[in-house]
Amino acid sequence: MTPIKNHILQLQELVHIRDEQKMLKGDSHLDNLNSSISKMKSKLPQDVKISFDRLAKKSPIVIVPVSSGGCAGCGMHIPISLIQTLKTKDEIQYCPNCAKMIYFQEDAPKNLTKAARRGEPIKVGIARFSDSLLMLPNIKASSTEEVIEALAGVLEEKGFVDQSNQLVESALEREAIMSTGFENGLAFPHVRGVEGGGLTLALATLETPIQFNPASKDKTNIVFFAAIPATASVFYLKLLVGITKSMQKETNKDKLLAAETQNELWKALVRVTKATIK
């Protein structure tokens, strides 16, 4: 990936992180992130900075990949000549349809879930984003990496997302920027830029709590892992808020931790998020 496109992607990720932190902790913890975002913006060429700010006013998703010949932002087919330009030149290009910045992504993990067929019941609540097959109760793990490997592995094993090794690598890169481990024993590692499909969530409870966030003394024993398509970031924020609201009740956390089987964990998750995730 060319330097300027990589710089914009890192800047966009910082903006996503700030939005997540604001949703979970309010405005009081954002000074360092705001400073980092401002510094990164100042290093952009002036015309690119103006475009970034203009697009960011409309949506937190400013730059999206082109894969399988289409823009991940709107789905429009991208001309081959423009794709060749994306591959070879360090110049910012824009989707002719949605006007987002675009870059070429050769081999991203893909969401493999199929759209619901006509006549199938409409999924509601947490079932829109997850499945009983993606529950891992009481797993043994001694590190952040082991937990993420287990969750990414079940996503691939059950046919929801491919290339779990890339999911793990991307999730750990995201953790290196700022840990997704929070108070109250919760962690929310995730990967953005998964190609196609919708947001997919897996859940693990840990037999023995671990220090998911190396900068915190808090131990983690409930981990939600999300594979997020480029255009689903707003949905993820809403899902994150819904989960954290439901987990504010210790009794709800206890219900998840008490589940001993995959099916029990799924039923508990559906039950405790019923009021917060529609």
pLDDT in tens, the chain (278 residues): 578 888 999 999 999 999 888 887 777 678 889 999 999 999 999 999 999 999 999 988 999 988 778 898 888 999 999 999 988 887 889 999 999 999 988 777 888 876 544 556 778 899 999 999 999 999 999 999 999 999 999 999 999 999 999 999 999 999 998 999 988 899 999 999 888 778 999 999 999 999 999 888 899 999 999 999 877 877 898 999 999 999 999 999 999 999 999 999 999 999 999 999 98
User: Residue 117 falls within a domain, yes or no?
Assistant: no
Beta bridge partner(s), residue 161: 111
Contact 186, 244 (CB under 8 A): yes
- Here the tokens at position 141 are 């793990």
Q: Are 130 and 268 found together in one domain?
A: yes
User: Residue 161 falls within a domain, yes or no?
Assistant: yes
Q: Are 53 and 136 found together in one domain?
A: no
User: Residue 112 falls within a domain, yes or no?
Assistant: no
Q: CB under 8 Å, gap of 24 or more: what pairs does 90-97 form? A: 90/2, 90/3, 90/4, 90/5, 91/4, 92/4, 92/5, 92/8, 92/48, 92/51, 94/51, 95/64, 95/71, 97/71
Element at 80 (helix H, strand E): helix 80-88
Q: Are 129 and 41 found together in one domain?
A: no
Q: Are 12 and 92 found together in one domain?
A: yes
Contact 242, 277 (CB under 8 A): yes
Q: Are 97 and 138 found together in one domain?
A: no
Domain of residue 146 covers: 125-273
User: Residue 213 falls within a domain, yes or no?
Assistant: yes
Contact 236, 190 (CB under 8 A): yes
Q: What is the pLDDT of residue 116?
A: 46
Question: To 10 degrees, what angle do helices 233-247 and 250-258 make?
Answer: 100
Q: CB within 8 A of 231, min separation 6: which ones?
A: 61, 64, 72, 73
Q: Are 55 and 192 found together in one domain?
A: no
Q: Are 155 and 225 found together in one domain?
A: yes
User: Residue 120 falls within a domain, yes or no?
Assistant: no
How far is the CA of 257 from the CAs of 130, 223, 253, 266, in angstroms? 18, 11, 6, 11
Q: CB within 8 A of 271, min separation 6: which ones?
A: 255
Q: Are 130 and 97 found together in one domain?
A: no
Q: Pairing mode, if any, of strands 200-210 and 220-229?
A: antiparallel
User: Residue 116 falls within a domain, yes or no?
Assistant: no
Domain count, the chain: 2
Residue 10 belongs to domain with CATH number: 1.10.287.1490
Q: Are 161 and 227 found together in one domain?
A: yes
- Here the tokens at position 172 are 């750990």
Q: Whole-prediction pTM value?
A: 0.88
Q: Are 72 and 165 found together in one domain?
A: no
